[in-house]
């Protein structure tokens, strides 16, 4: 007995997919969404023998991951300092990393994105911070920490 592969026809029965995302003839949903939001849809599939099935789905498109902090307020030798870097978008969990030398007495919390400590030496310190979300999206920013003398 030979077996003939059925042909399937896929269609978007209701709802919408994000702009930039499409339902392919294979039934795959793919593309690069251009706007954040929640998109609810129903896809239908039919075979050549008239059998049909539907699937209700939801796509959540997060905003693009971005480090929002543009500049840091100055610190002063001997005075406690704490600032949390601001972010928008992305998917949790997110993790931070940094390159460059922090002012002596400072630490950077890679989980929270917090720069804190009591600086011991005046100067200008340039650091690069990277943020990566659960989907692998990345945002990078170079920040300057100005530590003023007493």
The pLDDT tens digits of the residues spanning 20-62 come to: 999 998 999 999 999 999 999 999 999 999 899 999 999 999 9
Q: Which domains are present in the chain?
A: 8-61 (no CATH), 66-148 (2.60.40.10)
Query: Given the DSSP bridges, would you call strands 75-76 and 138-148 parallel, antiparallel or unpaired?
Result: parallel
* Contact in structure between 71 and 144 (CB atoms under 8 Å): yes
**Rounded-to-integer distance, Cα 37 and Cα 118, Å:** 42
Nearest alpha carbon to residue 30 among 40, 20, 44: 20
The pLDDT tens digits of the residues spanning 95-118 come to: 999 999 999 999 999 999 999 999
DSSP 57-110: EEEEEPPPPEE----PPPEETTS-EEEEPPEES--SS-EEEEESPPPTTEEEET
**Rounded-to-integer distance, Cα 145 and Cα 105, Å:** 13
Summary mean pLDDT of the chain:
94
Exposed/middle/buried for 107, CB within 10 Å: 0-12, 13-18, 19+?
A: exposed
> pTM of this prediction?
0.76
Nearest alpha carbon to residue 132 among 72, 79, 65, 76: 65
pLDDT band at 2; cut points 50, 70, 90:
very low
Q: Is the predicted pLDDT of residue 3 greater than 60, yes or no? A: no
**Rounded-to-integer distance, Cα 96 and Cα 47, Å:** 48
Average pLDDT of the residues in 57-68: 96
């Amino acid at each position: 007995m030979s077996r003939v592969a059925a042909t399937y026809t896929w269609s978007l029965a209701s709802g919408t997919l994000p702009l930039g995302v499409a339902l392919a003839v294979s039934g795959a949903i793919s593309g690069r969404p251009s706007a954040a939001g929640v998109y609810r849809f129903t896809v239908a599939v039919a075979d050549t023998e008239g059998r049909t099935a539907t699937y209700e789905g939801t796509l959540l498109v997060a905003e693009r991951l971005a480090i929002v902090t543009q500049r840091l307020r100055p610190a002063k030798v001997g005075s406690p300092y704490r600032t949390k870097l601001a972010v928008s978008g992305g998917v949790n969990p997110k993790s931070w990393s940094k390159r460059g030398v922090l002012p002596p007495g400072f630490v950077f919390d890679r989980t929270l994105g917090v720069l804190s400590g009591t600086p011991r030496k005046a100067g200008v310190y340039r650091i690069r911070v990277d943020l990566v979300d659960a989907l692998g999206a990345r945002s990078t920013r170079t920040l300057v920490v100005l530590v003023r003398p007493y």
